[in-house]
């Protein structure tokens, strides 16, 4: 049901064109004023409409954490978030975390600890890890529990936990 290719409106209520809404968001310090489908998830707006494809779509059901973004510093699963509900929100995606020249300390730690293989889950792992660090985890066990919303099919968990622990000073 792509709103841009919807045929002419029909009388049947079920085939009304997708209602559209206007919303503003600040992402990585830049302001976006957009119009989107009322049904769009935050994930789909970020990826498909704004082209910030560092945020990944995995399960699209809130289970895998690949779509993790920060809203005012707190991590959420953007696939479970209706974009319309986040108008005026201040977001951070992986594009707003470090650069190739100036890595975020957690990104650097991921490299040191070999905390990835295919890399698909890594943006979500990094954002989730940054949010977890702000919650001051006090043990490896708390890191494992705190990162349970991020799955890694390559099984890089030991490296991920070690990288977060290093930045946490554990």
Partner 1 sequence: MSGPSFRYIRAARLDDALSQGARQGATYLAGGADLLPLWKAGLAAPTEVIDISRLPLSQVSYAGDALAVGALARLSDVSAHPVVKRHHPMIAEAILASASGQVRNLATIGGNLLQRTRCTYFRTDGLACNKRDPGSGCGARRGESRHAALFGGSVGCVATHASDLAVALAALDAEISCRGLTGERRLALQDLYPLPGATTAPDTSLADGEMITAVHIDGAARFAAQSTYLKVRDRASFEFAVVSVAAALRIERGVIAEARLAAGGVAPLPWRLGRSEAALIGRAPTGEAFALAGELAVEGATPLAGNAFKVPLLHNAVIRALQTVGEGS
Token couple for 165: 């622990």
The nearer residue to partner 1, 131 or 156, going by C-beta atoms, is: 131
What stretch of H or E contains 30?
Answer: strand 30-37
Tell the smallest beta-carbon distance from residue 27 to partner 1 (Å).
17
| Least distance in angstroms from the C-beta of 41 to partner 1 | 7
Of 41 and 107, CB closest to partner 1: 41
As measured in angstroms, the least distance from the Cβ of 137 to partner 1 is: 11
Exposed (0-12), middle (13-18) or buried (19+): which is 108, by Cβ within 10 Å? Answer: middle
Which residues are within 8 A (CB) of 161 and not within 5 positions of it... i.e. 6 or more apart? 140, 143, 144, 147
Which residues of the chain form contacts with partner 1 (CB under 8 A)? 1, 13-14, 16-19, 21, 37-39, 41, 60-63, 65, 68, 71, 74-77, 79-82, 84-85, 87, 128, 131-132, 135, 144-146, 148-150
Q: Which helix (H) or strand (E) holds 76?
A: strand 74-77
Q: Which is nearer to partner 1, 21 or 170 (CB)?
A: 21
């Amino acid at each position: 049901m792509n709103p841009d290719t919807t045929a002419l409106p029909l009388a049947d209520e079920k085939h009304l064109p997708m209602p559209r809404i206007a919303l503003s968001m600040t992402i990585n310090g830049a302001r976006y004023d957009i119009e989107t489908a009322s049904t769009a998830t935050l994930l789909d707006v970020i990826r498909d409409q704004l082209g910030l494809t560092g945020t990944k779509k995995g399960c699209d059901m809130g289970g895998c954490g690949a779509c993790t973004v920060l809203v005012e510093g707190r991590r959420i699963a953007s696939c479970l978030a209706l974009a319309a509900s986040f108008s005026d929100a201040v977001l951070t995606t992986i594009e707003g975390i470090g650069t190739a020249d100036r890595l975020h300390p957690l990104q650097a730690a991921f490299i040191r600890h070999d905390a990835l293989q295919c890399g698909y889950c890594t943006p979500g792992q990094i954002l989730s890890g940054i949010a977890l660090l702000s919650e001051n985890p006090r043990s490896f066990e708390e890191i494992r529990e705190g990162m349970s919303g991020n799955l890694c099919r390559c099984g890089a968990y030991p490296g991920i936990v070690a990288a977060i622990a290093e930045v946490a000073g554990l």
